Amino acid sequence: EPEVTQTPSHQVTQMGQEVILRCVPISNHLYFYWYRQILGQKVEFLVSFYNNEISEKSEIFDDQFSVERPDGSNFTLKIRSTKLEDSAMYFCASNPRETYNSPLHFGNGTRLTVT
């Protein structure tokens, strides 16, 4: 069964550094998402992306965050200048359009640690 793939599984960075988290959604999917889970807390929506543009974003998704689909397969989340509070698990997800509200397929997550 096709999977959403995320790399790296764990990223350690210093405060103030830029990080890029990478995701390869399922190939025929058209909607892409990033969610975040601070350790021990609930999973929170960050942003959804469709047709090469952001379709919705949360209050968390401020100017430090950006998303991009640089080619036909990758979907990236960039944090420009990381803060300690950005430490979290970041999940990428995707779903197709033809099946309205099909369940989100989540990747295994990237654990970001900001020191």
Partner 1 sequence: AQKVTQAQTEISVVEKEDVTLDCVYETRDTTYYLFWYKQPPSGELVFLIRRNSFDEQNEISGRYSWNFQKSTSSFNFTITASQVVDSAVYFCALSDTSITQGGSEKLVFGKGTKLTVNP
In this structure, are residues 5 and 91 in contact, taking their beta carbons and an 8 Å threshold? no
| 30 near partner 1, rule: CB under 8 A | yes
| 17 near partner 1, rule: CB under 8 A | no
Helix (H, G, I), strand (E, B) or coil at 84: helix
Distance, in Å, from the CA atom of 34 to the CA atom of 20, rounded to the nearest integer, reads 12
| Binding residue for partner 1, selected from 13, 64, 76, 104, defined by CB under 8 A | 104
Structure tokens at 19: 């990080």
| 56 near partner 1, rule: CB under 8 A | yes
| 36 near partner 1, rule: CB under 8 A | no
| Binding residue for partner 1, selected from 17, 28, 41, 73, defined by CB under 8 A | 41
| 22 near partner 1, rule: CB under 8 A | no
Distance, in Å, from the CA atom of 93 to the CA atom of 105, rounded to the nearest integer, reads 5
